[in-house]
Amino acid sequence: MTERRVTVGWPEGLHARPAAIFVRAVTASGLPVTVGRPDGDPVNAASMLSVLGLGVAGGDEIVLASDAEGAEEALERLAKLVSEGLDELPGSV
């Protein structure tokens, strides 16, 4: 299992627009990815409702994880997206 711990860079956290950007990026990766709080249960990162349900605020730490082939590279790009609060995924997934 490949994991990345990352601090959320969007001031509003994973809510509304940032959550939609994140979910689109996860879906575009084509890989099964989970997201969760370090002390909580992970959820499907491609599910908007699940991501919103985490209630992640800006500055909170989250854990991205996947056991799929190619996960390391994809998680690295997703971590960059989240930590820098970008409007789109850097590079192609």
Could you list the active site residues? 15
Domains by residue range for the chain, with CATH: 2-84 (3.30.1340.10)
In this predicted structure, what is the pLDDT of residue 88?
76
Whole-prediction pTM: 0.92
For the chain, the C-alpha Rg in angstroms (whole number) is 11
Which phi and psi angles does 42 have, rounded to 5°? -75, 150
pLDDT digits (tens, 9 = 90+) for 42-71: 999 999 999 999 999 999 999 999 999 999
Q: In what order do the strands lie in the sheet with 61-66?
A: 2-7, 61-66, 34-36, 43-44
Identify the residue whose tokens are 């990345």: 4
SS3 48: helix
In this predicted structure, what is the pLDDT of residue 93?
43
